[in-house]
Chains A and B, each alone.
Chain A
Amino acid sequence: MKGLPLKHITVILIILLASFVQGEEPALTVVASTTQIADFARTIGGDRAEVICILGAGVNPHGYQPVPGDSRLVEKADLCLENGLHLEGKNWMRSLAKDNGNKPLITCTDGVQPLDLQYEGQVVADPHAWFNPRNAAIYVRNILEALVEQDPEGAADYRARADLYLRQLRILDTWIEKQVAAIPPSIRILVTSHDAFNYYAARYGFKVRSPVGWSTGSEIGGGMTPERRKKVVESIRSFYVPAVFVETSVNPKLIRQIAEDAGVKIGGELYSDAMGEAGSAGETYIGMMRENTLVIAGALSVKKSE
């Protein structure tokens, strides 16, 4: 058997060396509670940060129950990120960070001016702040500061990425305003399956209506009595809107029936508490906001042919 020629050995050595270089460990491991926060952190962190998200696409953060695997993820984290304002039901992300090595935890909504939300007869701070891109910019700044504090060597890279991303958010914000301008002001009413869109509505001039009996996504389909259904139908009719919207994390079957009874169409599915699956149009924050806006504008805008 002949030995390997020298040039082949050289090539193999180069490939091996390259694989060592490529296999460099990220400087930080970050664990985020929600898909939106994970997207912000990945965008700013780039290759320097490995970002793991506890919630998967389409998972409701309000009622999530942590599993043992989540603790293992948090154990190896350098930094934990939560939304705050009690989006994570019973503060499960805070508990995970505390119980698994007391990891540094950043609340991304710090600095956000919260809107009020009626919840089970009480007024609470609405946690869905990311639906206003200007609030998303606050999330980004909070995450940036946390990454810089944990990994000062990467500060210039983190700032440069955040700077570019904030410029993209600014374009997104103005683009949404332009799309919404095509909707007659009198029907800028969002009827959705749960109260997730208050910040979006406040920013772009919509009124939000949640029909009677629709309080959270989890209630839809469960415990719906004929009487309650009748009330829901009546309340939708009272809004005089051409379309209602369902959310990707909610079973649309019952809502379709209700919309049929009320004589309104389903305008489409909106991403709300979680973003879309990898490969879908809503897999990123910007994609999610873009698709939601296109669905809303498409359903409510006055078509030229009509």
Chain B
Amino acid sequence: MMRFIIVALVAALMVGSVALCQFAVTKKLDVQLTRDVEAHDEYHDADMQEPYRVELTFGFSASEDPFALSSGGENSKRLMIQQGGKTLLTWTDDIPRGNVMTVSNLLAKGDSLELFIEAVPSPDDAERSVPLRVQLFQGERLCDDETIWSEGYGQPVASVVKLGLNDKRLSVDRGLSNAGE
């Protein structure tokens, strides 16, 4: 009987440890892979029911651009998002492949939201054409889904993306649509 209790205790301890490790790893990955950025500190438009957010999924790692117009500090960007000429976000830390960055509290009027997005692939990724997936959400509703690509040859991903506000897409974009057209 005693032997059975000891075996049961050891088994419970092992299962518990594995579960704890799994939880810690999952939690840590979650922190590393998702970064949220507020596009606007306050949301003023009372007519809007719920603000929009854009999720960017990186199909490449982004790092400092040796050919940036300015180097160091705020200008050493890995990712920049502009709306109507106004810079919403300049990200100056490296971004690993697979990372999801969320820009929330986006203002939108009319039937579409237009963003200029520029991201700098690391030297390892820069030679080939690499994708950046852009998804527009309102709450849990997916409004639009586009994938933009770099041209390879060391060029950054740089494109104007026009995202529809209405729930017009039923299928998931596979990068076959032409962003910005």
Interface 9-mer from B63-71, B86-94, B96-104, B137-145: B63-71
* A166 and B67 contacting across the interface, CB-CB below 8 Å: yes
Shortest Cβ distance from A169 into B: residue: B67
CA distance A163 to B70 in the complex (A): 9
Q: Does B132 contact A (CB under 8 A)?
A: no
Shortest Cβ distance from A166 into B: residue: B67
Known: A175-B153, A177-B127. A170 touches B67 (CB 8 A): yes
Interface 9-mer from A49-57, A79-87, A134-142, A257-265: A134-142
CB contact list, A241-284 vs B, under 8 A: none
Please name all residues of chain B whose beta carbon is closer than 8 Å to the beta carbon of A162 when the two chains form the complex: 69
In this complex, how many residues of chain B approach chain A with their Cβ under 8 Å: the count is: 13
* A137 and B154 contacting across the interface, CB-CB below 8 Å: no
Please name all residues of chain A whose beta carbon is closer than 8 Å to the beta carbon of B69 when the two chains form the complex: 141, 144, 159, 162-163, 166
CB contact list, A134-157 vs B, under 8 A: 134, 137-138, 141, 144
Cross-interface CB contact of A134 among B66, B70, B153, cutoff 8 Å: B66
Interface centre among A111, A133, A134, A170 (most CB of B within 10 A): A170
Please name all residues of chain A whose beta carbon is closer than 8 Å to the beta carbon of B106 when the two chains form the complex: none
Cross-interface CB contact of A138 among B71, B153, B154, B155, cutoff 8 Å: B71
CA distance A166 to B66 in the complex (A): 9
CB distance from B74 to the nearest CB of A (A): 15
Q: Which residues of A contact B (CB under 8 A)?
A: 111, 133-134, 137-138, 141, 144, 159, 162-163, 166-167, 169-171, 173-175, 177-178
Please name all residues of chain A whose beta carbon is closer than 8 Å to the beta carbon of B65 when the two chains form the complex: 170
CB contact list, B100-149 vs A, under 8 A: 126-127
* B67 and A137 contacting across the interface, CB-CB below 8 Å: yes
Shortest Cβ distance from B152 into A: residue: A174
Cross-interface CB contact of A173 among B68, B152, B154, cutoff 8 Å: B154
CB distance from B53 to the nearest CB of A (A): 30
A-B contact pairs, 9 of them (CB 8 A): A134-B66, A134-B67, A137-B68, A138-B71, A141-B69, A166-B67, A166-B69, A170-B65, A170-B155
CA distance A162 to B71 in the complex (A): 13
Chain B 28-69, CB-CB to A under 8 Å as 1, else 0, gives 000000000000000000000000000000000000011111
Shortest Cβ distance from A159 into B: residue: B69
* A166 and B126 contacting across the interface, CB-CB below 8 Å: no
Shortest Cβ distance from B68 into A: residue: A166
CA distance A166 to B155 in the complex (A): 11
Known: A134-B67, A170-B67, A175-B153. 6 other contacts (CB 8 A): A138-B71, A166-B67, A167-B67, A171-B153, A171-B155, A174-B126
